[in-house]
Structure 1
Amino acid sequence: MLCQEDFKPVTLADRAFFESHYALYPQTHSDNTFTNMVCWSHFTQYRYAYVNGNLILACTTAGVTRLHPPIGPYNPVLMRALIRLALDMGDDNKPLILIDPGTAQRIKEIDPDLMLVPELNRFEYVYRALDLAELPGKKYLKIRSQINKFRKNYLYTIETITPSNREEIMEFLVKWCESKRCEDDFILSHEIEAIFYAIEHFIELPLQGLLIRVNSQVGAISLFERLNANTALIHFEKGLPEYKGIYKAINAETAAVLVSEVEYINRESDLGISGLRKAKLRYHPHHMVEVCSLKRRACFPFIT
């Protein structure tokens, strides 16, 4: 019923298909977004199959392929076929990933012996947009203080990202990458490539953006999109380190734009990076987007 030959690459030309399907089945995790898939295609090759009204994603990184659960009307036969395909593919220890709690429950109903494990590094942080925009109360006192210092120390303006400032943003990204020594950092070297792609194809993607100019020069940017009816997703947020407090400022300015449109802002996962986790926790998330993976056993049950 389901095999690897059913999958084809995700390309820019598929945007309308993904948007129409996700309008029926809204997403909560950034990894499933069309923007994420095309921007990171240099690092992870994404393919998809459309079976019985369900969208199924396959992602291949460093030669290892993993599958995502079906997105569409629940079909237990298809779910069994997907689990079988995942377990039959390759040697990866976790062949089926990004399983949300509802889907996890259905998988357990199919076979209680299947091992599902939480993927903490893939949990995504979701905040109240109003909290990020207004930073109310004592728990945000330090962040407000840092933003106030930024506003006092620098002459800056806010601007939306458009094709007219694209070249300036590219120059900013080169400068940011040099300051971070991206070539020496595995994650940053791939992330900068994804950001360049996003800017180059800004009009072709469902993106919006904001930038901060300090003394007329681009000092920070944020790229975001509507994830679902009540949530926006921040894909990228970068600032030059010489401007103290600029990350706090671009965060707040972005939230101020989004607060009238959505209730929540998803700021993605921490990738298991300790410093990033601490930074995200300082903003006091409202909730997390929790996911788990199907873990392969030495001997796994036969799924029919």
Structure 2
Amino acid sequence: MLGKKDFKPVMLADRAFFERHYALYPQTHSDNTFTSMVCWNHFMHYQYAYVKGNVILSCTAAGVTRLHPPIGPHDPTLMREVVRLAMEIGDDNKPLTLIDPETAQWMKKTNPDLMLVPDLNHFEYVYRALDLAELPGKKYLKIRSQVNKFRKNYRHTVEPITPENREEITEFLIKWCESKKCEENFTLAHEIEAVSYAIEHLTELHLRGLLIRVGSQVCAISLFECLNTDMAVIHFEKGLPEYQGIYKAINSETAALLVNEVEYINRESDLGISGLRKAKLRYHPHHMVEVYSLNRRTCFPVIK
């Protein structure tokens, strides 16, 4: 019987294991990526179990535990065990989360009593890389104008993030935190710790990144990786607010680099933050990565 004893912490040393498994079962949602897990481990406390060729993820944040559905070949008995365990140890109304549409359809087919609800705050925005790189047509006119204005107003250079400029990026993150008053914002305080971990372990995580300098000062960064064969994911993107249009500029430069490698760029979710949602919608997503959650009020399932 599946239990908490079967789970162990996700650690940096597990990267090769997850790479092998995700090569067999490619992911589309950034929360399942190894990079997201280890960078946010200080807050989300990720664990995993490997059972019957499936990876089962668990995360505990602020005392609330949630499980993810098994990643691997469909096994009705294992799914029943995961749902049972999620019901036992999950501390809120969504004990099982990040259920992709195909898995949700299978779960509902095997047990119609399950109540699976769309988790809109964790839908991820996916764009055509070519659209973000070229900003074509009238719908991108305002963004294109802001990018051009940035390029006109600021003498800048773009370069890859490497271990050699790591110290400068650390200094940049300190300035960014001061501008955002991270010490007064619970979410930003944890995010900056996640970004710092990513920078420190750039090579081990196989992450790539770009930075923009205005003069000699680093004023924006982006960190990204390939999520699958046709999609990249932008894990982090930061810019100093005193440079007007800086976020539009780093977005455009990152897309220009990736456009020859992938068809799509995943820019993650908006977490239900209205301002972030509006900003992401302005870029006209091609589609969303939809996910569902199991509602605790569902009838206890007997998955056949």
Query: Matched residue pairs, number?
Result: 303
Match of 1:86 in 2: 86
Which residue type is aligned with residue 81 of structure 1? E
The yes-or-no answer on 1:141 pairing with 2:141 is: yes
Q: Is the 2:100–2:290 Cα contact (8 Å) retained in structure 1?
A: yes
Match of 2:123 in 1: 123
Match of 2:9 in 1: 9
1:195 CA displacement = 0.4
TM-score under structure 2 normalisation? 0.98
Query: Aligned partners of 2:82 and 2:110: how far apart in 1?
Result: 12
The yes-or-no answer on 1:166 pairing with 2:166 is: yes
1:303 CA displacement = 2.9
Query: Aligned partners of 1:154 and 1:43: how far apart in 2?
Result: 37
1:163 CA displacement = 0.4
1:88 CA displacement = 1.8
Match of 2:249 in 1: 249
Query: Aligned partners of 2:116 and 2:37: how far apart in 1?
Result: 24
Match of 2:300 in 1: 301
User: RMSD over aligned Cα, in angstroms?
Assistant: 1.0
Q: Is the 2:229–2:262 Cα contact (8 Å) retained in structure 1?
A: yes
Residues 132-162 of structure 1, C-alpha deviations (whole Å, 9 max, x = no match): 0000000000001001110110000000000
1:85 CA displacement = 1.2
Q: Is the 1:80–1:110 Cα contact (8 Å) retained in structure 2?
A: no
SS of the aligned residue for 2:302 comes to coil
Residues 47-92 of structure 1, C-alpha deviations (whole Å, 9 max, x = no match): 0000010000001111111100110111111111111111122432
Q: Is the 2:66–2:91 Cα contact (8 Å) retained in structure 1?
A: no
Query: Aligned partners of 1:302 and 1:125: how far apart in 2?
Result: 32
Residues 220-259 of structure 1 mapped to structure 2, 5 A cutoff? 220-259=220-259
Q: Is the 2:66–2:90 Cα contact (8 Å) retained in structure 1?
A: no
Query: Aligned partners of 2:187 and 2:3: how far apart in 1?
Result: 32
Residues 149-298 of structure 1 mapped to structure 2, 5 A cutoff? 149-297=149-297
SS of the aligned residue for 2:269 comes to coil
Deviates more, 1:99-108 or 1:259-268: 99-108
Q: Is the 1:126–1:285 Cα contact (8 Å) retained in structure 2?
A: yes
Which residue type is aligned with residue 50 of structure 1? Y
Query: Aligned partners of 2:90 and 2:300: how far apart in 1?
Result: 17
Match of 2:101 in 1: 101
SS of the aligned residue for 1:222 comes to strand
Return closer, same or farther for 1:165/1:76 CA change in 2, 3 Å cut-off: same
Match of 2:22 in 1: 22
Q: Is the 2:67–2:90 Cα contact (8 Å) retained in structure 1?
A: no
Query: Aligned partners of 1:39 and 1:269: how far apart in 2?
Result: 17
Return closer, same or farther for 1:164/1:172 CA change in 2, 3 Å cut-off: same
Q: Is the 1:128–1:265 Cα contact (8 Å) retained in structure 2?
A: yes
Which residue type is aligned with residue 280 of structure 1? K
TM-score under structure 1 normalisation? 0.98
Match of 1:43 in 2: 43
Which residue type is aligned with residue 172 of structure 1? F
Return closer, same or farther for 1:78/1:256 CA change in 2, 3 Å cut-off: same
Query: Aligned partners of 2:57 and 2:7: how far apart in 1?
Result: 8
Q: Which runs of 5+ in 1 are unaligned?
A: none
Match of 1:55 in 2: 55
Query: Aligned partners of 2:227 and 2:289: how far apart in 1?
Result: 13
Query: Aligned partners of 2:42 and 2:25: how far apart in 1?
Result: 27
Which residue type is aligned with residue 76 of structure 1? P
Q: Is the 1:83–1:303 Cα contact (8 Å) retained in structure 2?
A: no
Query: Aligned partners of 1:82 and 1:159: how far apart in 2?
Result: 45
1:110 CA displacement = 2.4
Which residue type is aligned with residue 132 of structure 2? L
Runs (4+) of structure 1 exceeding 2 A deviation are 299-304
Q: Is the 1:99–1:292 Cα contact (8 Å) retained in structure 2?
A: yes
Deviates more, 1:221-230 or 1:78-87: 78-87
Residues 237-268 of structure 1, C-alpha deviations (whole Å, 9 max, x = no match): 00000100010000000000000000000000
